[in-house]
């Protein structure tokens, strides 16, 4: 029997400290990397300032007096989350291509704690990114319609980030390719612009309105807007269903990718 075929399953009591150590390691790597933390924050603030500065007067004409910055913020947070959550895949990809993940598998019998560490670190980065973006929005006039609603909006976006992080990790493990791993972020980022970006869906042109209605991210953004403004969250059930499917798909994809790596490496 070769060393690679040996399976050592750590005791549950030993898995917890290993997972915590993996979370600390991945979080340090994210916090020390401008590309994984500073770049998404800069991107979010850039889009927020440009869109709000150029379109706030126009937006006020069809939002019935509502703040255009408040209307815009959920979209900015979503695009930032899509970018920031991809850090999980980037971290795991580095461990895959260096062979470090395989060595961890031999040493600990499993790589799950180290995958969880990367996902947790990405969510920490996404949380920091959202708080900085909201602070930037406050500087240019943003005021939450409801503080509990604003917190609910952040939690909704964190759930989206969890799904994106899991999918990016799965692709990183399965393909060991940077270009393929980045496609997850690019797909979510691109889909976000086929929603009610600068106007409610009902105000869009016919063909765009049809696309936005079919786009699952539309309901996530609408639910975030409704929660933040303390309006009736009519889009929330569909948004939660979309996010539940995304997280379940990400979890299943990670399990399949890890199983494939265990059998083929």
Cβ atoms of 47 and 79 within 8 Å: the answer is: yes
pLDDT at 60: 63
Q: Residue 4 domain-assigned? A: no
Q: Residue 194 domain-assigned? A: yes
Q: Residue 183 domain-assigned? A: yes
Q: Residue 214 domain-assigned? A: yes
pLDDT at 232: 87
Q: Residue 2 domain-assigned? A: no
Q: Which residues of 22-58 are buried (b: 16+ CB within 10 A; e: fewer)?
A: bbeebbebbeeeeebbeebbebbbebbeebbeebbee
Query: pLDDT tens digits for 46-85?
Result: 999 998 888 777 766 677 667 888 899 999 999 999 999 9
Q: Residue 219 domain-assigned? A: yes
Is the pTM of the predicted complex or chain greater than 0.75? yes
Residues sharing a CB contact under 8 Å with residue 31, sequence separation 6 or more, in sequence order: 37, 125
Q: Residue 107 domain-assigned? A: yes
pLDDT exceeds cutoff 50 at 3: no
pLDDT at 191: 92
The confidence band for 5, taking pLDDT boundaries of 50, 70 and 90, is very low
Among 9-18, 66-75, 120-129, 199-208, name the most confident range. 120-129
- CA atoms 202, 204, 210, 211: torsion sign: negative
Q: What's the total number of domains in the chain?
A: 1
Residue 186 phi, psi dihedral angles, 5° rounding: -65, -35
pLDDT at 100: 73
Query: How does DSSP assign 29-95, residue by residue?
Result: HHHT-TTTTHHHHHHHHHHHHHHHHHHHHHHTTTTTT--HHHHHHHHHHHHHHHHHHTHHHHHHHHH
Average pLDDT over the chain reads 85
The closest of 61, 242, 59, 50 to 156, measured between CA atoms, is 242
Query: pLDDT tens digits for 236-265?
Result: 999 999 999 999 999 999 999 888 877 776
Domain of residue 247 covers: 11-264
- What's the whole-number mean pLDDT along residues 207-228? 93
Q: Residue 5 domain-assigned? A: no
The confidence band for 6, taking pLDDT boundaries of 50, 70 and 90, is very low
């Amino acid at each position: 029997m070769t060393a690679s075929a040996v399976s050592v399953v750590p005791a549950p009591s030993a898995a917890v400290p290993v997972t915590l150590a993996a979370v600390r390691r991945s979080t340090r790597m994210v916090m020390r990397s401008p590309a994984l933390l500073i770049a998404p924050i800069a991107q979010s603030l850039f889009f927020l300032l440009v869109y709000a500065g150029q379109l706030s007067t126009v937006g006020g004409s069809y939002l019935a007096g509502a703040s255009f910055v408040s209307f815009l913020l959920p979209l900015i947070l979503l695009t930032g989350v899509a970018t920031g959550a991809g850090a999980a895949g980037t971290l795991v990809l580095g461990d895959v291509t260096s062979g470090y993940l395989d060595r961890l598998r031999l040493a600990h019998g499993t790589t799950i704690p180290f995958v969880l560490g990367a996902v947790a670190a990405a969510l920490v980065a996404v949380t920091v990114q959202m708080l900085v973006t909201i602070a930037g929005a406050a500087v240019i006039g943003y005021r939450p319609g409801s503080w509990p609603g604003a917190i609910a909006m952040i939690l909704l976006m964190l759930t989206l980030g969890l799904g994106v992080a899991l999918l990016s990790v799965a692709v990183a493990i399965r393909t060991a390719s940077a270009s393929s791993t980045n496609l997850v972020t690019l797909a979510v980022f691109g889909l976000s612009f086929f929603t009610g970006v600068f106007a409610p869906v009902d105000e869009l042109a016919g063909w765009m309105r049809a696309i936005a209605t079919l786009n699952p991210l539309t309901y996530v953004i609408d639910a975030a807007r409704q929660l933040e403004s303390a309006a009736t969250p009519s889009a929330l059930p569909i948004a939660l269903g979309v996010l539940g499917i995304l997280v379940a798909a990400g979890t299943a994809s990670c399990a399949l990718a890890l199983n494939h790596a265990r059998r083929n490496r």
